[in-house]
Amino acid sequence: MEGIQDQLTDLRDTLDTLRDKNYHLNNELRDAQGTIATIEDVIQRRIEVMADPGQYAGDRAKFSEWWVKMKVWVTQNRTALLTPQDKCTAVWSHMTGPVAGRFAQAKFSLAIVMGVWPDTAEMIKDIDRFFAPQTDIEWAKAQMCMMHQGNSRYEEFYAKFESLKVQGQVTDETAGFLLENAVHPTIVKEALRRGYTQGNYLQMTVAF
């Protein structure tokens, strides 16, 4: 009997310990959620007023378009989003639903508990790995071929073009001719006046 009593006592002690750990973990989770809300509020007040890419709920068919807009939006707000924490918060807070929302919540919790926020390249790679469809590269290439500057500001247009170039893994040579055909002719003329060599993408980005 004494052996059984000892085992029961040990079991009760173990259960008490597990309950304590669960209590502390729940408190940490509540604290993390409060911290997330605070960070989001601070970031939102600093964001410039411009076209918001909207929420992403996990639909893979809509990922590519949303992701390009989001990366452009982050680039345009680089003066407000100075740190990795700022950028991660801005992106993750736009992810909702049972898939994308849980992904973001897990990333938030890990960053807060560990005290380490991924840099921009790591964050982008992580999201690409989890959500990008297999046809993402071809989609980006197709979008580049159809792009025209229209009435948009050149800086905003180029930011989107560059994002698609990276996403579509397009060479500088191809990108140079695509960009030249997509922007206003007056811009190309001005670039040529400054010594731009047609088809040279790197030179073109400086000349423009």
b/e 91-129 (16+ beta carbons within 10 angstroms → b): bbbbbbeebbbebbbebbbebbeeeebbebeebbeebee
Q: Which residues constitute the domain of residue 96?
A: 60-131
The domain boundary, picked from 88, 113, 131, lies at 131
The domain boundary, picked from 108, 131, 154, lies at 131
Place of tokens 């601070």: 42
Residue 44 lies in a domain: yes
Q: Do 31 and 75 share a domain, yes or no?
A: no
The rounded distance, in Å, linking the Cα atoms of 194 and 33 is 53
Q: Do 113 and 73 share a domain, yes or no?
A: yes
Residue 208 lies in a domain: no
Q: Do 65 and 127 share a domain, yes or no?
A: yes
Q: Do 193 and 140 share a domain, yes or no?
A: yes
- Residue with the bigger pLDDT between 62 and 195: it is 62
Q: Do 6 and 28 share a domain, yes or no?
A: yes
Q: Do 180 and 148 share a domain, yes or no?
A: yes
What is the number of structural domains in the chain?
Answer: 3
pLDDT tens across 75-84, in order?
888 888 989 9
According to DSSP, the residues that pair with 95 across neighbouring strands are 56
Q: Do 76 and 125 share a domain, yes or no?
A: yes
Q: Do 64 and 126 share a domain, yes or no?
A: yes
Residue 95 lies in a domain: yes
pLDDT confidence tier of residue 190, bands split at 50, 70 and 90: confident
Q: Do 154 and 170 share a domain, yes or no?
A: yes
* Cα–Cα nearest to 76, from 51, 41, 43: 51
Q: Is the pTM of this model over 0.85?
A: no
The pLDDT score that the predictor gives to residue 123 is 93
Highest mean pLDDT among 3-7, 38-42, 190-194: 190-194
Residue 150 lies in a domain: yes
Q: What amino acid occupies position 26? A: N
Residue 22 lies in a domain: yes
The domain boundary, picked from 98, 131, 164, lies at 131
Residue 55 lies in a domain: no
Q: Do 187 and 140 share a domain, yes or no?
A: yes
Look at residue 95 and tell me whether its pLDDT is greater than 60. Answer: yes
